[in-house]
Structure 1
Amino acid sequence: MKTTAKYLKTLLSYYEEEIEGEAYFYGLADHFEEQEKLTVLARVERRAAESIAPLLEKYELVPRDESELKTRGEAYVGRHASFDWFEFMTYMVNRYP
């Protein structure tokens, strides 16, 4: 398979979004009673990022600093912090079918 610029950009974005997602779910855990479920979601995000880290190394891709990515992920918390659990799950199902 030929490695394309689009593939490399997607790979890097995927990794960064997973790190942001981890921070997002951990941040939401402070706003919901379902903290264990949000912790599982955060761990899934971290595991997804870890699973592609070898590809970042292989292609010498350098993601943004993790602290910056976490800050970006935490910034999304406010959008959903006032949701109840059902509203949040409805949002998730519609956003990530």
Structure 2
Amino acid sequence: MNRLVLSAQLVERGAVRYTPAGLPALDLSLKHESQVSEDGQPRKVSMEIRAVAIGAITRQLLPLAIGSSGTFAGFLTAGRNGRGLSFHVTEVELLT
């Protein structure tokens, strides 16, 4: 199974672009910070991940202000040109 659910903050959003199939797409940068337990020890986690939203989900993400927080869900795939990873966002639940 390839499913990622991440509590994160929107730190960057590109302009709407369109895929060759004509679907709207948004490039995003998401920041996550938390504390987890690893082998019984607390560990601080902080990371930024590149993400993309394609299709109808872009309508929910376009009005989102930079700095907004939420739970982003989707899947991981190889990045453009096979470099790194890309998080494809398919669902979002905003924190109020």
TM-score interval, normalised by the smaller of the two chains? under 0.3
Larger relative contact order, structure 1 or 2 (CA cutoff 8 Å, min sep 6):
1
Pair member with larger Rg? 1
Please give the TM-score of this superposition, normalised by the length of structure 1: 0.23
Q: Which one has the bigger strand percentage? A: 2
